[in-house]
Amino acid sequence: MTDDLSIASKLPAKQNWRRYFSFSTDHKVIGIQYIFTTFIFFLIGGLLAMLIRAELLTPALNVVDRPLYNGLFTLHGTVMIFLWIIPCLAGLANYLVPLMIGASDMGFPLVNAIAFWIIPPAGILLLSSFFLPDGTAQSGWWSYPPISLQTSSGQFINGEFIWIVSLVLLGISSILGGVNFVTTIVWMRAPGMTFFRMPVFVWTVLSAQILQLFCLPSLTGGLILLFFDLALGTNFFKPLENGDPIIYQHLFWFYSHPAVYVMALPAFGIFSEIIPAFSRNPLFGYRSVALASFGIAIVSAFVWVHHMFASATPGWMRLTFMVSSMFVAVFTGIKVFAWTATVWKGKLHLETPMLFALAGVVMFLFAGITGVMLAAVPFDLHVNNTYFVVGHFHYVVYNTITMAIFGALYFWFPKITGRMYAEGWGKLHFWLTLIGANLAFFPMHPLGLQGMVRRISSYDGRYQGWNIVASLGAFVLGVSVLPFIANVVVSWSQGIKATNNPWHATGLEWVTSSPPPVENFEEIPIVKRPPYDYGDPKVAVIEPVGEEGS
Amino acid sequence: MMLTLFETLLLGIFIAAIVVASHWFGQQAYTWMPVAATAEAEQVDRLFSFLVAVGAFIFLGVIGIILYSILFFRAPTGDYSEGHPSRGDARIEILWTAVPTVLVLWIAFQSYDIYERLQILGLTPVVHLHLQEPAVAQTVQNQAKPAVEQIEVIAKQWVWSFRYPNNITSNELHLPVHRSVRLVLHSQDVIHGFYVPEFRVKQDIIPARTITLVLTPNRTGKYRLRDSQFSGTYFALMEADVYVESPTAYSHWLEQATQQQKKTAVNPAFSAGAQSEKTLLNSGWRTGSFKNYT
């Protein structure tokens, strides 16, 4: 980095809200910028979802017309994945990773700021396509050709055009972020912070970002070829011009399946931080949990064809990818069992972060089980492209990952703001979310088993019962964010001052002040203890075997 | 980990209870599916029941432990004293890596076995399917015919049509019961998907490729075929009636269809009904078409 940049990052921060709207290179400011921006997109994506659910209250088409419905689910998926979960977790990691490893900032502060500042214009560009004469992209977030190449206006700039441009921009942002995270974690750890003293959250960010660096170029390449087909008249993916639409599916899922783990791994990291702190026990099997992150990352790079079992996929490929997909369950199983064992015979505190974490683990287990079912080819051929799949992945992206994000925001709220949130409002938010999420997404499983296909704007009357339940659940979820927003706004300005370590948690981020100074630590700490150093030796329930560290 | 007699007993009761419960869930799973109308559907349902039973066992087991902990291992309010210091146990960690590995291999083997029985892709004659054929069907005439009835399925935005062996085209899919049918799938524009929930197996239809799907309907009745791969504006309306009927009724319908004037199904893109759908919000966005691409 150049000299003036390192000077810029050392200037005293303007201690007011304006710095969050300025071009800052402080990883903590950027982290909050990410989280705030992506939360706005989360609310927009949620509104799109509620419009979809409003349409599906009744079998007939009566709320939105069909092209608009197709635009709604296309943008709902795109916004939630590429503008909420992935960048929001990047924001959390941005804030936390340097603090957790005892660094004063990210490796490349300027690159960090650029990666963030790509996101707002790319998101606004995507949403602006609602105002085009023929609207947004309408081919689903997969954008499979040839349907994605079928534009209604025939104009050069259309919804699909904007969708591709904005996704390529978001991809560039993710790559910049990935390079930065990997560099920071590998090279900027404090003295004594060995790999096996890193918190699991840092392990999961590292594995997720390496996975992203490995797989994302495939999507970008696929999108660029799709762009050529759409705008310049090439025939890469046009089947009737000797192009091959199946190649696009491979290029797309080669990233977009691992993307699920780019999102899920940090969520597992969040569970691994919150659960030991609120159980007062060390994370059980820390090393195997940390290494399982890389197990998940490696295996998940070779499972993408399970999205294409019903496509033009030969039998041998179906069966190979069935087996590889099922092996993800072994590595995620290690984590679920470890969290369960951590809770066992602990001293549990059920404050809001812990409630979100425990509920997230339970619902992730459910999602994992339906995931193994989906990997079984003969069963998948029945439920492929039905609401069973929609239910399964919403249990992952909402009931697991979004639950983890909320848990993290409550857990680190005192650290980030220097104030405590209101516990009662937090619990209200939790219960509304838990009830709403299960009402919204559980009914999708029976609907899918009964054969209701996804992406339909009107449906057979026999599916109405469960659809009403799902729609009500979606509206409950819409309401559930209100206590969260109220809590954050009021507590940030008027909450009780937080101590450095209100949860009595281990981890370097709890050593420094709340909120941390610009340089993070008065002096760079020297790490001498293993992570998750909880536990009173006098109350051992299992004779410690293979004691690590110290 | 030493357990007292009481704890061992408790653990035994817990495991027995979740074994019984997961077996029950496995049996219930059959009723969560639509009726099974093909020989393939019965295989798929058997696999689903197995998956539900195994999944329920793991889910209930882990949830049981977490719920027990939430109920009995609570810290008094404000007591942030430490729990136990156990950082792991190599034996337990190896166990919970090895057991799921074996379990996953077992599930994969069961799925592979059932996939082999389906033999839904390609031309291979399906041995077990012939066992399903009733003796009555084994007439001289039937033996002279190819063992597999072949019907061409043509998908285009947003209508289905079917071409039968005697070159009849219809917008209804008629299938003889207890006879394996080879469906030859074609698309004239975008990717579509062939899906009758009661038949279970689903197959995408890729333009400029021929993909075949072999099925043996074994239950007469009227079903609904629907497009299962998103195909644009009127995707939701791309359905067709499917009739599984006795061989005599089937050949009767074929004869009738030969004599009758061919009826064409209404394409929702051009039908007045779909064009005048009243909705609360109107985008005014037009229907996608291949203006740039034919």
Q: How far apart are CA A204 and CA A365, in angstroms?
A: 18
Which pLDDT score is estimated for B130?
Answer: 40
Which pLDDT score is estimated for A168?
Answer: 97
List the structure tokens of A77.
């998926």
Q: How far apart are CA B277 and CA B213, in angstroms?
A: 35
Q: How far apart are CA B154 and CA A110, in angstroms?
A: 56
Residues of A within 8 A of B101 (CB-CB) are 327, 330
ipTM for this prediction:
0.91
Name residues of chain A where pLDDT drops below 50: 1-14, 543-550
How far does B139 lie from chain A, in Å, by closest CA? 33
CATH of the domain at A270: 1.20.210.10
**pTM of the predicted model over 0.80:** yes
Nearest residue to B242 via CA among B183, B166, B171: B171
On the question of pLDDT at B142 being above 70, the answer is no
pLDDT-derived band at B129 (thresholds 50, 70, 90) equals very low
Q: Judge whether B99 lies within some domain.
A: no
Q: How far apart are CA B230 and CA A139, in angstroms?
A: 7
Task: Tell me, yes or no, whether B230 and B137 share the same domain.
Answer: yes
3-state secondary structure of B240: strand
Across residues B49-61, what is the average pLDDT?
96
Residues of B within 8 A of A196 (CB-CB) are none
A144–B230 C-beta distance less than 8 A? yes
Number of domains composing chain B: 2
Which pLDDT score is estimated for B262?
Answer: 63
Among candidates A67, A457, A537 on the partner chain, residue whose Cβ is nearest the Cβ of B283: A67
Task: Tell me, yes or no, whether B64 and B155 share the same domain.
Answer: no
Domain that includes residue A258, residue range? 27-539
| Domain end call among B72, B95, B115 | B72
pLDDT per position as a tens digit, B163-196: 998 888 999 999 999 998 999 999 999 999 999 9
Q: Judge whether A11 lies within some domain.
A: no
SS (H, E, C) A83-128: HHHHHHHHHHHHHHHHHHHCCCCCCCHHHHHHHHHHHHHHHHHHHH
The average confidence (pLDDT) of chain B is 84
Q: Within 13 Å, how many C-alpha atoms sit on residue A499's CB side?
A: 5
pLDDT per position as a tens digit, B226-236: 999 999 999 99
Task: Tell me, yes or no, whether B46 and B144 share the same domain.
Answer: no
List the structure tokens of B211.
């993909």
Which pLDDT score is estimated for B258?
Answer: 81
Q: Alpha carbon of A347 to those of A535, B78, B248: distances in Å?
A: 10, 11, 72
Q: Judge whether A124 lies within some domain.
A: yes
Q: Judge whether B228 lies within some domain.
A: yes
Residues of A within 8 A of B201 (CB-CB) are 378, 381-382
Q: Alpha carbon of B52 to those of A371, B22, B63, B232: distances in Å?
A: 12, 8, 16, 34
Number of domains composing chain A: 1
CA angle B279, B282, B286 (to 5 degrees): 115
On the question of pLDDT at B278 being above 90, the answer is no
- Cβ-contact A103, A144 below 8 angstroms: no
Say which residues have a Cβ less than 8 Å from residue A373's Cβ, sequence separation at least 6. A379, B48, B51, B52, B55
Q: Does A291 touch chain B (CB under 8 A)?
A: no
With DSSP H G I counted as helix, E B as strand and the rest as coil, what are the percentages for chain A, rounded to 5? 70, 0, 30
Q: Residue A476 carries which DSSP code?
A: H
List the structure tokens of B162.
């079917």
pLDDT per position as a tens digit, A217-242: 999 999 999 999 999 999 999 999 99
Interface test with B, best of A381, A389, A395 (most B CBs within 10 A): A381
Q: Judge whether A361 lies within some domain.
A: yes
B55–A460 C-beta distance less than 8 A? no
More confident residue, A417 or B287: A417
Domain that includes residue B195, residue range? 131-262
Task: Tell me, yes or no, whether B247 and B166 share the same domain.
Answer: yes
Residues of A within 8 A of B46 (CB-CB) are none
Nearest residue to A278 via CA among A8, A9, A22, A502: A502
State the alpha helices, DSSP H only, in chain B.
5-28, 39-72, 90-118, 127-132, 140-144, 247-259, 272-275
Task: Using CA atoms of A442, A373, A406, A271 in order, give the dihedral in degrees to the nearest 10.
Answer: 140
Which pLDDT score is estimated for B120?
Answer: 64
Which pLDDT score is estimated for B273?
Answer: 60
* Lowest mean pLDDT segment, chosen from B72-86, B134-148, B271-285: B134-148
Phi then psi dihedrals of residue A343, to 5 deg: -70, -35
On the question of pLDDT at B134 being above 50, the answer is no
Task: Tell me, yes or no, whether B68 and B136 share the same domain.
Answer: no
Q: Judge whether A15 lies within some domain.
A: no
Q: Alpha carbon of A399 to those of A270, A511, B119: distances in Å?
A: 14, 31, 37
Among candidates A376, A503, A544 on the partner chain, residue whose Cβ is nearest the Cβ of B86: A544
Q: Does A343 touch chain B (CB under 8 A)?
A: yes
A379–B51 C-beta distance less than 8 A? yes
Task: Tell me, yes or no, whether B67 and B135 share the same domain.
Answer: no
More confident residue, A210 or B138: A210
Give the number of residues written for chain B: 294
